[in-house]
Amino acid sequence: MGLICAIDVVVVFTLVSVAKRRGLERALPLFVFFLTLIPNECRIVTGVFDLYTYRLALIALAILFFSQRRKSVIQTFPLKTLMFVQAGWLLLSTLASIVVLTSSKQFLAQVLEYYLIYYIILKTVRDVRTISKLALAMVAAIGITCLFGLLESYAGWSVRSLFPAELQETYGSGSLLYTELMDRGIRIRSTFPHPILFGGAISMVIPLTLYLLTTASTRLQKVLLSVCVVFMFWCLYKTGSRGPWLATASSLAILFFAVKGKFRKQLLLIGALVLLVLLMRPGVLDTIWNTYLATLDTNTGMGMSFAYRPALYRAVTNALEADPLRALLGFGLGAFREKGLLIVLPNIAPHLWFTCDSAWLLLTYETGYGGLLLMSALLIKPAVMALRAYRTLPKPECYFCISCFCSFISFFVVMISVAVYGWGQNGKMLWVVIAMTVSYIALRKREKGRRLPVERLPMDEVVAF
């Protein structure tokens, strides 16, 4: 517990110190770095709302934000209507929940925290360069988690062992090394609750890393970012997670056809390096191929895992169709993990399952079909904004937007295979990317529409640019 308290003090003190000395905008990258890096085990259990380190950091950031009187550069509030409507729907779902207390906690976590992160970033950022720093902070954090992941794979040591045993998730094995399905061996998860979540975070950050690599101004930056890319692909493979593999392939395919010049050459180089690894280490290709074959065989752990998804879909739709109210509003946030759901699988006796390995299906079960539609609209809207900005902004400014779009695609694909939105760091990382995307587009439009000479501008706006 002493380590957790020490981390909390360091995080909060650093954020406050930087914000007081250099401004809140300079503290945002540090916040994103801590948000991405620090695991859920770093928390103080209170019995009501656990004091996660990220939560303390967000509280400190909010106090600093609302105590300042500096006018925001971005005057609009994109996504506002969708956010309020979706929050209202979640409130109705919570009132009708079968686990009202749990749903209330989840409501505050998924609405207040996520939307507060978005609002503070949107209203604090004044310079496009800050957005690049936010992306760099996320990349740096994932780079460090990759180091922890490699130690987990090759040294058998988990960074989670530094935290109290009662806070650690071992999935019934008693070991911090994830071996839930032995046909995949040790699957690394670093500071994330599950290997798929770790793989999903890597998959979402890879497009941003590649963008930063094309804009790096010094050789040191290029070297560090290149090392991060190598570590990310290495750890992505070591997670043994098919969803993130598919998500990465999908996002990079889109990125390849959307970019040109140095960016595309960079992707070709990565493809050549991957091919070289497959040729030099045929065991890697064998592992991928065997994973594919095992996925189609229901007698294997991977095959059962794959068969679980369609069985989950049938169980969720049957549960909702049995009650019109539940079909509309769902069973309430957190209901699946607390009450479970009866799922029928071949070769396994029917029993209650307490994990919903699909964020899309979890949204449907807990918030109803209406909640699924509203959340889909809310999450897809920033992706559409990024795609439109890619088509309208000049090069190379538009490449940041297509990189964010590919990050969204990665997240959406991973949502098919795990409850990624409300578990671990991933959902909060998504809202950071949403805030970066919306802020970047707003600032670029502001630059484009601004034609006054510099001497006629207010001094605070001159500083911002």
Q: Give, for 182, the enclosing helix (H) or strand (E).
A: none
Q: Which residues pair with 342 in a beta bridge?
A: 352
Decide if pLDDT at 7 tops 60: yes
Of 35-44, 300-309, 402-411, the least confident:
300-309
- The residue with greater pLDDT, 44 or 448, is 44
Q: Are the CB atoms for 361 and 316 separated by under 8 Å?
A: yes
Cα separation of 91 and 86, whole Å?
9
Per residue in 333-350, pLDDT (tens digit) is 999 999 989 888 877 777
Predicted pLDDT at 290: 76
Q: What is the mean pLDDT of residues 52-80?
A: 90
pLDDT mean across residues, the chain: 88
Cα separation of 83 and 81, whole Å?
5
My answer on whether omega of the bond before 396 falls inside 30° of 0, hence cis, is yes
Strands 51-52 and 341-345: unpaired
Q: Read off the pTM.
A: 0.91
Decide if pLDDT at 456 tops 70: no
Q: Which residues pair with 187 in a beta bridge?
A: 178
Cα separation of 183 and 108, whole Å?
38
Decide if pLDDT at 176 tops 90: no
Q: Which class for 428: exposed (0-12), middle (13-18), buried (19 or more C-beta within 10 A)?
A: buried
For 117-247, strand residue ranges (E) read none
Predicted pLDDT at 172: 67
User: For 178, phi and psi rounded to 5 degrees?
Assistant: -80, 110
Confidence of residue 453 (pLDDT cuts 50, 70, 90): very low
Cα separation of 261 and 16, whole Å?
42
Q: What is the mean pLDDT of residues 15-26?
A: 93
Per residue in 118-174, pLDDT (tens digit) is 999 999 999 999 999 999 999 999 999 999 999 999 999 999 999 988 888 877 667
Q: Hey, how many other C-beta atoms are within 10 angstroms of the C-beta on 325?
A: 11
Decide if pLDDT at 462 tops 60: no
